[in-house]
Amino acid sequence: MIVRCVHIISPATGEALTAHPSIRIGAQYPVLEVLTRANQVLLRIPDPPGTTEYQDTPGLWDAAMFTVVSSRIPGHWVAGLEDGRLTLAPREWQRAGFWDDYFDDMPAAVGEYNRLKAAILADS
């Protein structure tokens, strides 16, 4: 799935922004994961290359910021339903604690992320 950013909403405050270091209006992004919560849909978007000096820090962005350019669903996505949340993502990323492990730089989680991100990008 590929989306184009049409406006920016601050993940922290929900306010409209004119710019953000991790995302640009008019740019297209691959979607790595879709997460729904009560009254909200979030898209996990990878950092563009060169925007961080450390590991890729894929952010969750409000789906209202985007229009869909390609609705092709990556073959590695599966649906997961837990605690009223629906997630479309690789099964490995849906396990409890995966994102904590990834952001804590645990080698197994970083390896799973890199492998599956590459597969999703190749499938987009």
CA distance 60 to 64: 12
Residue 51: the pLDDT is 53
Mean pLDDT of the chain: 91
Full-model pTM:
0.90
Q: How large is the average pLDDT for residues 45-51?
A: 73
* Alpha-carbon dihedral angle through residues 51, 102, 95, 122, given to the nearest 10 degrees: 40
Contacts of 13 (CB under 8 A, 6+ apart): none
Domain boundaries, the chain: 2-123
Q: Is pLDDT of 54 > 80?
A: no
Structure-block tokens of residue 109: 């989680």
Q: How large is the average pLDDT for residues 116-124?
A: 91
Spatial contact of 76 and 120, defined as CB atoms under 8 Å apart: yes
Q: How large is the average pLDDT for residues 4-31?
A: 92
CA distance 109 to 118: 14
Name the region of 107 (left: φ>0; alpha: ψ -120 to 50; beta: rest).
alpha
pLDDT tens for each residue of 56-112: 789 999 999 999 999 999 999 999 998 889 999 999 999 999 999 999 999 999 999
Structure-block tokens of residue 44: 């996990």
